[in-house]
Amino acid sequence: MEPYKQQFIEFMVEAGVLTFGEFITKSGRKTPYFINTGRYSTGGQLARLGDFYASAIEQAVGRDFDVLFGPAYKGIPLVVTASIALERRGHDVGFCFNRKEAKDHGEGGALVGASLSNGTRVLIVEDVTTAGTSIRETLPLLRAAAAVELAGLVVSVDRQERGTGDRSALAEVQHEFGIPTFAIVTIDEVLEHLRGREFRGQVVLDEARYAAALEYRARYGALR
């Protein structure tokens, strides 16, 4: 596993974003691990988060895109910090995001940030594995602005769970929209790295929690 992936996993634990226990997902599944990206709350954390996104983007798509797009609301700080991180690495790209409600005065419109034109390659940045809802909502907005091309979708963690069918949610998006989808880390990488590892004097993922995670993966897991 690449060092930046290991560092990101530990960063999520330290930030309290990744926790283990008993939780209920939005879909109603009882899960032994939970990822709450709303717990990122400082400038320092956002700066590091952007750098992790930049590493994943560079590894997966290189520089084959023009604009980062962040679906409102959680995607907004993500595209800002990722674009800053990429600029520091010598790749200065635009970013844009959508308003929840189109503005009918001033410059108007539903999009804010970099202008889109025909052929602009747009890379969508989100937080955790998506079911494709935000893409279905925002793709018409992007294509209303111009005949853009989708360069892909990147999320922070791929939970590798079945979506509406046998595929994972990310794989469903890839199949439906014909775009590459990838994550900074997968849940399998998280479990592999944290098993038995001690943080601040405590083992975050002990054998009992690891077994519960494997049981959950066996029940709901999906291959790409």
Catalytic (active-site) positions: 103, 105
Q: Tell me 162's DSSP state.
A: B
Q: What is the dihedral of CA 26, 27, 32, 36, to 10 degrees?
A: -30
Rounded distance between C-alpha atoms, residue 32 and residue 181, angstroms: 25
Rounded distance between C-alpha atoms, residue 69 and residue 54, angstroms: 14
Q: Give the 3-state secondary structure of residue 68.
A: strand
What are the structure tokens assigned to 126, written together? 């989100």
100 phi and psi, to 5 degrees? -70, -30
Question: Around Cβ 224, how many Cβ atoms within 10 Å?
Answer: 12
Give the max Cα distance, the chain: 58
Determine which helix (DSSP H) or strand (DSSP E) holds 95, and give its type and residue range. Answer: strand 94-103
Determine which helix (DSSP H) or strand (DSSP E) holds 207, and give its type and residue range. Answer: helix 207-220
